[in-house]
Amino acid sequence: MSLHDEKKIKLKKKVSKTPQEPGVYFFVGEKGKILYIGKTTNLRSRVQSYFRGADSRGQWIEIMVEKAKDVKFQLTDSAFDALILESNLIRKFKPEYNTLGKDDKSFAYFAITEEDFPRVLIFRATDIDFEKLEAGGLKLKAVYGPYAAKYHMEIALKIIRKIFPFHLLNQKTEKGCLDYQIGLCPGPYDGAISKADYKKNIRNIMMVLEGKRNGLIRRLTKEMDDAAKKNEFEKATDLRNKVFALRHINDVALMTKDFNSEKTPNAKYDMRDMRIEAYDISNIAGTSAVGSMVVFSGNQPDKSQYRKFRIKTVEGSDDVGMMKEILTRRFHNDWPMPDLVLLDGGAGHLNMAEKLLREQLGLDVVIAAVAKGPKRKNQELRMINGKMKSEIRKNLEDKNLLKYIMDEAHRFAIAYHRKTRDTNVLK
Q: Which residue segments constitute the domains of the chain, with CATH numbers given?
A: 3-97 (3.40.1440.10), 105-254 (no CATH), 271-426 (3.30.420.340)
Nearest Cα neighbor of 144 from 161, 136, 132, 156 is 156
Q: pLDDT at residue 329 above 60?
A: yes
pLDDT-above-90 percentage for the chain:
49
Q: pLDDT at residue 401 above 80?
A: yes
Is residue 124 very low, low, confident or very high in pLDDT (cuts 50, 70, 90)?
A: confident
pLDDT tens digits for range 54-78: 444 567 788 888 899 999 999 999 9
For strands 380-383 and 366-371, give the pairing. antiparallel
More confident residue, 286 or 312: 312
Provide the pLDDT for residue 408. Answer: 94
Q: pLDDT at residue 255 above 80?
A: no
Segment 393-413 shows an average pLDDT of 86
Q: pLDDT at residue 426 above 50?
A: no
Question: Which range (2-6, 125-129, 159-163, 170-174) has the least confidence?
Answer: 2-6
Q: What's the mean per-residue pLDDT of the chain? A: 84
Segment 150-171 shows an average pLDDT of 91
Residue 261 identity (one-letter amino acid): S
More confident residue, 133 or 291: 291
Enumerate residues 6+ apart whose C-beta is below 8 A from 43. Answer: 18, 19, 20, 21, 22, 23, 25, 73, 75
Segment 342-352 shows an average pLDDT of 91
Q: pLDDT at residue 11 above 80?
A: yes
Is residue 166 very low, low, confident or very high in pLDDT (cuts 50, 70, 90)?
A: very high
Segment 157-177 shows an average pLDDT of 92
More confident residue, 386 or 34: 34
Q: pLDDT at residue 264 above 70?
A: no
Provide the pLDDT for residue 380. Answer: 67
More confident residue, 397 or 206: 206
Enumerate residues 6+ apart whose C-beta is below 8 A from 199. Answer: 118
Is residue 4 very low, low, confident or very high in pLDDT (cuts 50, 70, 90)?
A: low
The answer to whether 150 and 134 have CB atoms below 8 angstroms apart is: no
Provide the pLDDT for residue 3. Answer: 52
More confident residue, 154 or 103: 154
pLDDT-above-70 percentage for the chain:
84
Segment 198-227 shows an average pLDDT of 96
- DSSP per residue, 21-87: SSEEEEEE-GGG-EEEEEEES-HHHHHHGGGSSS-TT-HHHHHHHHH-SEEEEEE-SSHHHHHHHHH
Provide the pLDDT for residue 141. Answer: 92
Provide the pLDDT for residue 268. Answer: 45
Its sign, for the CA torsion 62, 51, 26, 262, is: positive
Beta bridge partners of 74: 24
More confident residue, 248 or 427: 248
Segment 9-23 shows an average pLDDT of 87
The answer to whether 108 and 146 have CB atoms below 8 angstroms apart is: yes
Taking CB atoms within 8 Å and a gap of at least 24, the contacts of 175-182 are 176/313, 178/313, 178/325, 178/328, 178/329, 179/328, 179/332, 181/313, 182/329, 182/332
Is residue 273 very low, low, confident or very high in pLDDT (cuts 50, 70, 90)?
A: low
Crossing angle for the helix pair 233-247 and 213-229, to the nearest 10 degrees = 160
Question: Which range (12-16, 191-195, 205-209) has the least confidence?
Answer: 12-16
**Distance of alpha carbon 267 from alpha carbon 106, whole angstroms:** 17
Is residue 26 very low, low, confident or very high in pLDDT (cuts 50, 70, 90)?
A: very high
Q: pLDDT at residue 377 above 90?
A: no
Segment 338-344 shows an average pLDDT of 91
Provide the pLDDT for residue 104. Answer: 54
For strands 340-344 and 275-284, give the pairing. parallel
Q: pLDDT at residue 131 above 80?
A: no
**Distance of alpha carbon 205 from alpha carbon 347, whole angstroms:** 37
